[in-house]
Amino acid sequence: MFEKLFSAPDDKIIKLMHTFSADPRADKIDLGVGVYKNKNGSTPIMHSVKKAENLLWEEQSTKSYVGLAGDFEFHDVMRDLILKNCVGEDCVAAAATPGGTGAIRQALELIKNTDPSTTVWISSPTWPNHPSIIGYLGIKQKEYRYFDYKTGCVEFENMLEDLSSAKRGDVVLLHGCCHNPTGANLKLDQWARLTEILLDGGLIPFIDIAYQGFGDGLDEDAAGVRYLVMNIPEVIIASSCSKNFGIYRERTGILMLVSHNKGDKIKNQKMLTYLNRQNYSFPPDHGARLVTMILKDPELRTSWEVELKSIQVGMLQNRESLALELCKQIGSDRFGFLAEHRGMFSLLGATEMQVDEMRNKYGIYMVSDSRMNIAALNLKAIHKLTEAIIAVKV
């Protein structure tokens, strides 16, 4: 049968990560994969994570199974982190998953199994793994306009126009904050107008929130999600702890089904548990346990929040420095949007040829759509990047 296997496509972000590693140039700059880097270019383990790991090593007495949906304490802390008290605990069913991607995959399987005629609407552009998984599962997908390449802003009226043609029961995949790849985000009044369109059209929001705390702050970044959850009867949420806890390889994520109909919780919980069993049985525990320990222990939590804040502020400084440097060098505010964007990424607006040229000539790696990892910049890289952007005439 192996001769019949189709040739699996590469993932452009992961492929770029390998190409970067293989590049022998000492002064190469990696603005590709979404991994935080400190000023020295490394991705350290957060202090709170290291401390929690030490404690766990001391205290944990068994590695036996936990539960098919993961540890309920993990559900509680994550529900509180993302939703605070905007809905009751009795409205939320949850399951731990292997990373945010695991949560997205489970949600899409649930959508497909429940109603195969559903169309999932995705932003144009979006994280490439969204259309990839949706296509792989054979689910129908359509794009809604999202990003205006000329202004670097959300094209909100066009987004609403596209979504108003969705049919009742369709699912709308939204980025909870820190839009990947563009960095352009909805403002709170836009979340409110979007909520009306979703309610009027009978559409179900599916929120992917993978960068909470990287934009404006933990609560600020969840404000749109909380608004939707308070106002829309059914919401799907996939969340990742990879970035804000820096535990990428531990594969820690969660899927939540929020229903205003309190009677739904038991059935929804059973479904999520069943889905986990079908795909991998028990979700990984290590990362979820560290997150639970950190969020429950006041000292660890403060340490985590302080470190996360400094990461967020560092990214804002990088944004401002890059926008300022470009403004100084080209004498216009054309790239001012870089300072307005939030989160780990910004879409520069370069062509694929310009991106190739920046990689080949300057050793600057960004994704082919010109997505840059802002968290990987430092002053030296900002100078070099500015030089390259001007030289290739973006």
Stretch 12-51: interaction string toward ligand LMR, x if CB under 6 A: -x-------------------xx-----------------
DSSP string, 199-250: HHHT-EEEEEE--TTSSS-HHHHHHHHHHHHHH-SEEEEEEE-TTTTT-GGG
Q: Active site includes 376?
A: no
139-144 own/partner pairs: CB under 8 Å, 24+ apart? 139/108, 139/111, 139/112, 142/166, 144/172
d(CA 11, CA 19): 12
What letters, b where the CB count within 10 A reaches 16 and e where it falls short, cover 352-383? Answer: eebbebbbeebbbbbbbbbbbbbbbbbeebbe
Q: Quick check: is 71 catalytic?
A: no
Of these residues, 37, 51, 103, 127, which one is catalytic?
Answer: 127
Convert residues 76-115 into a mask of x (bound to ligand LMR by CB under 6 A) and - (unbound). ----------------------------------------
Paired residues of 153 in beta bridges: 148
In the complex, the smallest distance separating the C-beta of residue 297 from ligand LMR, rounded to whole angstroms, is 28
> Minimum distance from CB of 148 to ligand LMR (Å)?
21
210 catalytic? Reply is: yes
Assigned token pair, 108:
């899409």
Q: Which is nearer to ligand LMR, 33 or 324 (CB)?
A: 33
- If one asks whether residue 180 binds ligand LMR (CB under 6 A), the answer comes out as yes
Annotated catalytic residue 26: no
Q: Of 74 and 127, which has the nearer Cβ to ligand LMR? A: 127
- How many Å from the N-terminal Cα to the C-terminal Cα in the chain? 48
Spatial separation of the C-alpha atoms in residues 32 and 21, rounded to whole Å: 11
Q: Rule CB under 6 A: choose which of 36, 121, 127, 365 binds ligand LMR.
A: 127
Binding-residue total with ligand LMR (CB under 6 A): 6
> Catalytic: which of 208, 221, 264, 285?
208
> Smallest gap, in angstroms, from Cβ of residue 183 to ligand LMR?
12
Which residues belong to the active site? Answer: 127, 208, 210, 243
Footprint of ligand LMR on this chain (CB under 6 A)? 13, 33-34, 127, 129, 180
